[in-house]
Amino acid sequence: MFKGNIEINLDFFRIKPPSLIGVDISSLSVKMVELSQVNKNQAYRIERYVIETMPPDAMQDGGIVNMDAVSECLRRCWKRMGTRQKNVALALPSTDVITKRIVVPAGQREDDLAFQVENEASQYIPFPLDEVDLDFQVIRSVPDNPEEVEVLIAASRKEKVEDRVAAALAAELKAVVMDAEPYAAQAAFELMLQQLPGAGKDQIVALVDIGATVMKVNVLLNGESLYTRDQPFGGNQLTQEIHNQFNLSLEESEHAKRGGNLPENYQADVLQPFCETLAIEVMRAIQFFYTSTQYTEVNYIFIAGGCAVIPGLDAIISSRTQVSTLIVNPFANMEQAGRISSRQLNIDAPALLIACGLALRSFDPS
């Protein structure tokens, strides 16, 4: 818990009471999602969402380097949302979060468990504990040993948390939850499992989030992460190629990429080679998964992020990897407020995965 004017629980795991706006601060944009719950059966409704472009120098390697630019973008984004809600859930990139699984005796009181976790954490966290925010969650009983439980520890440097909280505060928003991006993405992705045969049970699924600068891979089995990897490849490479090929500034290239107003040879000379290279990067990530674990098969690939809606990219990835590839849409089975365009939401949905997962922190699934 922070002291003074900023108060937030660094809570990577526990669900908080309603109501929150999910806020994803990425390298080039801020995304906000607000959900409501239609009934007690956990049917959700998307009420509002906004994507607001941010200056390219505002973020670097997942960290805030221009606080004024980020807070101003948050302010504009919230204003466009048209909501009165000011409580927000934020997330840290995986590079700023240290996680470790430990085994401890079962049946401990919360205070005793917290004390033991802190002692264990000091062995794995390369910073003094007074410089980090720490959280933990009991995951499950240890197989074949009911007297022990597996506990997941998550920790981050206080300064990383404080930067995001301060940006929200400067935009007159209140950060109530601080999550980690992989957990938020996974929470939203689980809404989609019903699309798979048997609701995805015993199926190995690779969730590939292709952002502007980083491709984040999370391989999942029955709700547990088997493997994660970040690869330095993303949509900025496409922007750079447009800049090189058509003599446009980087800003003009980004705008043209989004607007689609490019010369006829763009498809063959720029977009297609980019998609092929991206598919190779996904294939490499899958191969790294095979060589790093005992698993030799991936059943499905789901692609998310701004690049996911490039026409035909899913087919190219599927052809390269020989794995069925689908595009993420966590809102596919949700009701939509009348103010939302279904067509535009389908385009934007893959980029809203983390923001959706953060918005879900408003609801208690029990």
Give the separation between CA 175 and CA 166, rounded to whole angstroms: 9
14: pLDDT strictly greater than 70: no
**82-94 residue pLDDT tens:** 999 999 999 999 9
In the prediction, which pLDDT does 234 show? 93
Q: Where are the beta strands (DSSP E) in the chain?
A: 9-10, 21-25, 29-37, 44-53, 59-60, 63-64, 87-92, 98-105, 132-142, 145-157, 174-180, 204-210, 215-221, 224-231, 300-304, 324-327, 335-336
- Within 8 A by CB and 6+ apart from 48, the residues are 32, 33, 34, 81, 82, 83, 337, 339, 340
For the chain, which residues make up each domain, given as ranges? 9-95+158-236+271-362, 100-156
- Per the DSSP assignment, residues forming a β-bridge with 332 are none
| Matching fold, domains 9-95+158-236+271-362 and 100-156 | no
Cα three-residue angle 153-159-162, rounded to 5 degrees: 95
Average pLDDT estimate for 274-282: 97
101 neighbors 139 (Cβ within 8 angstroms): yes
What does the pLDDT average to over 323-329?
96
Query: With 90 as the cut, is the pLDDT of residue 116 above it?
Result: no
CATH code of 100-156, in short, is 3.30.1490.300
Q: Of the candidates 98, 102, 85, which has an alpha carbon nearest to the alpha carbon of residue 133? A: 98
pLDDT value at 132 more than 50: yes
How far is it, in rounded angstroms, from Cα 98 to Cα 77?
A: 30
Nearest CA-CA partner of 226 in 245, 211, 204, 210: 204
Strands 300-304 and 204-210: parallel
Q: Tokens at residue 75, please?
A: 């302010």
pTM across the whole model: 0.89
Contacts of residue 41, defined as CB under 8 A and 6 or more positions apart, other chains included, come to none
Structurally, what CATH architecture does the domain formed by 9-95+158-236+271-362 represent?
Answer: 2-Layer Sandwich (3.30)
Give the model's confidence band at 40: pLDDT under 50 very low, under 70 low, under 90 confident, else very high: low
Cis peptide before 36 (omega within 30 of 0): no
CB 236 within 8 A of CB 307: no
Whose CA is closest to 187, among 41, 354, 16, 68? Answer: 354
pLDDT bucket at 50, cuts 50 / 70 / 90: very high
The pair of three-digit structure tokens given for residue 66, joined into one six-digit string: 């221009």
Task: Tell me the pLDDT tens digit for each residue of 150-165.
Answer: 888 888 999 999 999 9
Please report, for residues 15, 19, 188, 223, 353, the alpha-carbon distance to residue 191 in angstroms, rounded to integers and kept in the order given.
16, 19, 6, 11, 11
